Amino acid sequence: MRLGIIAGSGAADFLPGGQTIALAAGPWGETSGPVRQVGIGGHEVLLMSRHGEPGARAIAPHAVNYRANVWAFRELGVDHLLGINTVGGISAGFACGALVLPDQLIDYSWGRAHSYSGTAAFPLQHVDFTTPFCLRLRDLLLGAARRVGVELKSAGTYGVTQGPRLETAAEIDRMERDGCDLVGMTAMPEAGLARELDVSYAICCVVVNQAAGRAPAGVGIHAEIAANLRAGLDQAERLVTAFTEADLHAT
Ligand code: HPA
């Protein structure tokens, strides 16, 4: 199996090691960076850092070339593509440190190059996006989590904001009324583009802070993120390792 991973904030050293492979610019331009190839249990994992390489100027969520990134993974022939996303928790039950496999999303982002459709190579298509994440991949990840005892929430709605600023308390209140459990800035257009290319795609979210207006007075979002990031990513790493080590003949 060949698994692609697009790792978000703080995840540049996700599953460290391996060999770096440069990617030539494709029809949609430059990717966020090279991929790093890591072998786990006889399977191949190809990782890309969504916000660019460590040491380079970080690419803001609205400026990520999602089309180039997803295209590159399709060209690399991955069987599945997994996003690792740090998020804020909105509703009760999505506390800091939680690992979540969202099953739904609401897109509040705007102005991003969000489709391949309408170009000469890609005639207009209205892809079915009723279930935005691959059900088979979600099942495999949930099975892996159960096997190794990683606590993984099996559902949740991810609201995608434009960033890079964080939200106002009123924006988060509105998102909660809309049904969002989590807030982040990067699940779209990544998920929609993967669906356009028929790539099996899901995201694993690490809750690193309480969304704006949800934390007790005096608790700063950035301090929360710093406190929760590493442990959350360690759990996500355990999950990915269990997933790749599993017998996945039926991918
Ligand atoms: N809002 C948006 N994106 C985020 C947050 C947040 O609170 N935390 C991590 N990514």
> In whole angstroms, what is the distance from residue 47 CA to residue 15 CA?
8
Task: State the distance from the centre of ligand 1 to the C-alpha of 177, rounded, in angstroms.
Answer: 18
pLDDT-derived band at 8, boundaries 50, 70, 90: very high
The model's pLDDT over 147-185, given as tens digits with 9 standing for 90+, comes to 999 999 999 999 999 999 999 999 999 999 999 999 999
Residue 227 corresponds to which amino acid? A
**pLDDT of 110 higher than 60:** yes
pLDDT exceeding 90 applies to what percent of the chain?
82
pLDDT-derived band at 129, boundaries 50, 70, 90: very high
Provide mean pLDDT across the span 118-147: 94
**Given phi > 0 = left and psi -120 to 50 = alpha, else beta, which region is 198?**
left
| Amino acid 247: pLDDT | 58
Substitution site in 84, 108, 183, 204 for ligand 1 pocket (most atoms within 8 Å of beta carbon): 183
pTM across the whole model: 0.96
Least confident of 100-104, 137-141, 149-153, 242-246: 242-246
**pLDDT of 24 higher than 60:** yes
pLDDT-derived band at 12, boundaries 50, 70, 90: confident
| Amino acid 241: pLDDT | 94
For the four alpha carbons of 150, 195, 92 and 228, in that order, the dihedral sign comes to positive
Cβ 87 under 6 angstroms from ligand 1: yes
Residue ranges per structural domain of the chain: 3-250
Radius of gyration of the chain (CA): 17
Fold of the domain spanning 3-250: Rossmann fold (3.40.50)
Q: Which of 96, 99, 58 is nearest to 82 (CA)?
A: 99
For residue 164, say if its preceding peptide bond is cis, omega within 30 degrees of 0.
yes
Kind of pairing between the strands at 80-89 and 19-21: unpaired
Cβ 211 under 6 angstroms from ligand 1: yes
* Mean pLDDT, the chain, whole residue set: 94
Provide mean pLDDT across the span 69-79: 97
pLDDT exceeding 70 applies to what percent of the chain?
98
Contact criterion met (CB below 8 Å) for 145 and 239: yes
The model's pLDDT over 30-52, given as tens digits with 9 standing for 90+, comes to 999 999 999 998 899 999 999 99
Task: State the distance from the centre of ligand 1 to the C-alpha of 210, rounded, in angstroms.
Answer: 8
Q: Which two tokens stand for residue 38?
A: 């890591």
**pLDDT of 251 higher than 60:** no
Residue minimizing CA distance to atom 3 of ligand 1: 184
Cβ 183 under 6 angstroms from ligand 1: yes
**pLDDT of 11 higher than 80:** no
